[in-house]
Amino acid sequence: MIDERLEQIYQDVVQRNPAEREFHQAVREVLDSLGPVLAKRPELAERKIIERICEPERQIIFRVVWQDDCGAVRVNRGFRVQFNSALGPYKGGLRFHPSVYLGIIKFLGFEQIFKNALTGMPIGGAKGGSDFDPKGHSDDEVMRFCQSFMTELYRHLGEYRDVPAGDIGVGGREIGYLFGQYKRIANEYESGVLTGKGLGWGGSLVRKEATGYGAVFFADDMLKVRNDTLEGKTCVVSGAGNVAIYTIEKLQQLGAKVVACSDSNGYVYDECGIDLDLLKQVKEVERLRIDAYAERHGNGARYVPAGNIWEIPCQVAMPSATQNEINGRDAATLVKNGCIAVCEGANMPTTPEGIRVFQDAKVAYGLGKAANAGGVATSALEMQQNASRDSWTFEYTEARLATIMREIHRTCYETAGEYGAPGNYVLGANIAGFLRVADAMDAFGLV
């Protein structure tokens, strides 16, 4: 921590938000970057802009009651943290996972403020979700849960107020049920109230692919500034969900070889390169566990239950599952095995110790809030299409995404250089994102 004022702000955040470990971690990472900003812009400290950014504008916690297929009553908890609306309506996904509690939603909402600012698009930061686990529930149960969840949440949403999307456990199926219930209650076809919609009812081409594709564009740019490319690189991608699948797709399109992916039970290793059609069939169509990939493959693909995917030698690692999945030891293993670039599709997948290992070893390290911003950026493109009642082609939308990602990379890279830390994307992303939000907040006075 460079500045005493920042240390004090951090201590206050910890005290005011007890036991929210992931939120503390996300705040610490940003505050660790802001010392040089306060040195240049002391008025931001006087006006307590950082303290204000660390306090959500609004936090909503609600009960979600629903009935399972046996008629038993189930009770879950719903969250929406509307963190910051300085740059536009609140925007950020919904996560359905048993690990969800307020600290997870606040860490994700806090990250989202800076990520959304980096896209350069008019969107504020928010996040929501529930401790409901869609895994193991029938479609009917998921529908009843989503309807009950939206029956409370709808009053806080609107295309100019708050626009959720998907995240872990919330894909096209869940967005469909949520949108259907919103439309029914609001009695309006308000397409721009949710993103990640189906293509036949207001969705955007490339939204499904956007986070993974965008992360690969970012990795490609990180290598380009080092006069290198993704072509021929051996890659490991954790997860086997939305982000992981489309990360693998774009890596393969750019000539890289992805040898492993995972779920929370284990990983599959496929020396010849992951068979993407088979992976999509297993995960997207049949919603099976990842071991089914190896079972069906029949040609040397190996399933390793409870295995640590980061022990597999690779040149490029793209964590695309969940927070804190790479610790200091995993990072050291990756470095020892020759990894030269780590680019995060997931949010905060690397612990602070892991980040230090990568930075000390001069690994190109692209943090999630910059590298995975392609998802929310394409959500903003979906909102643009909804507002103009238009729909764009795949090629046009992908080109827009690629331009946005290249611009985010350039902004982070140049800001890091400007603040005396060339190649430090953590510093560049945090400072550039922060300044955009801070300047807008400052212009609004004390609100």
Could you tell me the smallest distance in angstroms from the CB atom of residue 243 to ligand NDP? 4
| Nearest to 158, CA basis, from 74, 88, 110 | 88
Residue 167 or residue 221: which is nearer to ligand NDP going by CB?
167
Q: Are 428 and 415 spatial neighbours (Cβ–Cβ below 8 Å)?
A: yes
* Least gap, CB of 228 to ligand NDP (angstroms): 25
CB of 134 to ligand NDP, least distance (A): 9
Separation of alpha carbons 192 and 206, rounded Å? 16
Binding site for ligand NDP (CB under 6 A): 166-169, 171, 211, 239-244, 263-265, 320-322, 345-347, 372, 375
CB closer to ligand NDP, 37 vs 244: 244
**Residue number, 182 or 267, with CB nearest to ligand NDP:** 267
Question: Residue with the closest Cβ to ligand NDP?
Answer: 241
Q: 79 or 419: whose CB is closer to ligand NDP? A: 79
Nearer to ligand NDP, 10 or 358 (CB): 358
Minimum CB distance to ligand NDP smaller for 41 or for 173: 173
Residue at token pair 């946005």: 404
User: Is 208 designated active site?
Assistant: no
Report in angstroms how near the CB of residue 41 gets to ligand NDP at its nearest: 29
CB of 93 to ligand NDP, least distance (A): 6
Catalytic residue among 91, 106, 115, 127: 127
CB of 265 to ligand NDP, least distance (A): 6
The residues annotated with a catalytic role in the active site are: 127
